[in-house]
Amino acid sequence: MWLIVELALCALAGWATGQIMKGSGYGLLGDVLLGIVGGWLGGFLLGRFIMGGGLLGDFLVRLVGAVVLVALVRLLKKA
């Protein structure tokens, strides 16, 4: 059950990242996949510092991770 919630939060964070960071997006599937990877990284790195944030806190951590990952991918794509 935990894994399903994690994937859903990360996928939702990926979709939200695509809406937040307008421009040359990666499409719905690309945004969701980047959101899953970025959300997992954000949860792994930032989740250790934020404890007891609940579902909203978990989502926000994953959203930050996804936004950072998409920004890094865009920087590397331009170079």
List pLDDT tens digits, range 17-74.
888 887 666 777 887 888 788 888 887 887 667 666 678 888 888 888 888 888 888 8
> How confident is the model at residue 46, as a pLDDT?
77
pTM, two decimal places? 0.81
- The whole-angstrom separation of Cα 59 and Cα 79 is 30
Tokens of 73: 């991918």
| Amino acid, single-letter form, for residue 13 | A
Hey, where are the domains in the chain?
Answer: 2-78
- The whole-angstrom separation of Cα 50 and Cα 14 is 20
Buried b (16+ CB within 10 A) or exposed e, 43-65: beebbeeeeeeeeeebbbbbbbb
> How confident is the model at residue 24, as a pLDDT?
61
> How confident is the model at residue 51, as a pLDDT?
63
**Half-sphere exposure (Cβ direction) of 50: Cα atoms closer than 13 Å:** 17
